[in-house]
């Protein structure tokens, strides 16, 4: 089985992880006590998002997390990630414009993931 680092060596997944980490770091600087590095809670969230991104059930050819249909996080963590993403969506353009542009380009690519099947009752 591959490790998180080996899986995240894929260029697209690496970009998405770097973007998530940048947003979490920016959020931590504004909302928590920042002393040269992110707080323990935000560091745990960064590690969790990297692990979930690496071992997503959609595989390596997954779409970006914003357009993915798989449910990777528990409701509490999902709420934290959504809050940080909403807060940092516009701010990230000023800090990391190239990374965000590549992320938007990646989200335009069609996904290889099958559409979820609806139940016929």
pLDDT tops 70 at residue 115: no
Q: What number is the average pLDDT over the span 42-57? A: 87
Nearest to 44 by CA among 26, 19, 21: 21
CB neighbours of residue 46 within 10 Å: 19
Residue 47's pLDDT band (boundaries 50, 70, 90)?
Answer: very high
pLDDT tops 80 at residue 28: yes
Is the Cβ–Cβ distance between 64 and 104 less than 8 Å?
A: no
Burial classification of residue 81, based on how many CB atoms lie within 10 Å of its CB (0-12 exposed, 13-18 middle, 19 or more buried): buried
Instruction: Tell me phi and psi for residue 118, to 5 degrees.
Output: -90, 145
pLDDT tops 60 at residue 38: yes
- Please tell me what DSSP assigns to residue 10: S
Q: What are the extents of the domains in the chain? A: 4-108
- Please tell me what DSSP assigns to residue 65: G
What pLDDT was estimated at residue 22? 92
Residues 50-103: tens digit of each pLDDT: 888 888 777 767 777 777 777 788 888 889 988 998 998 888 899 899 988 888
Q: What CA–CA distances, in Å, run from 12 to 84, 104, 105, 120?
A: 21, 11, 10, 36
Query: Could you tell me the pTM of the whole model?
Result: 0.79
Nearest to 84 by CA among 65, 69, 107: 65
Per-chain mean pLDDT for the chain: 81
């Amino acid at each position: 089985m591959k490790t998180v680092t080996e899986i995240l060596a894929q260029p697209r997944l690496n970009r998405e992880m770097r973007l998530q980490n940048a947003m979490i770091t920016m959020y931590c600087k504004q909302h928590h006590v920042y002393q040269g590095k992110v707080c323990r809670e935000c560091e745990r969230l960064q590690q969790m998002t990297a692990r979930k991104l690496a071992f997503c059930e959609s595989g390596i050819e997954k779409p970006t997390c914003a357009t993915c249909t798989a449910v990777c996080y528990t409701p509490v963590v999902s709420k934290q990630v959504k809050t940080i993403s909403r807060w940092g969506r516009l701010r990230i353009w000023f800090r990391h414009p190239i990374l965000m542009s590549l992320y938007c380009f990646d989200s335009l690519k069609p996904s290889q993931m099958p559409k979820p099947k609806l139940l016929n009752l």
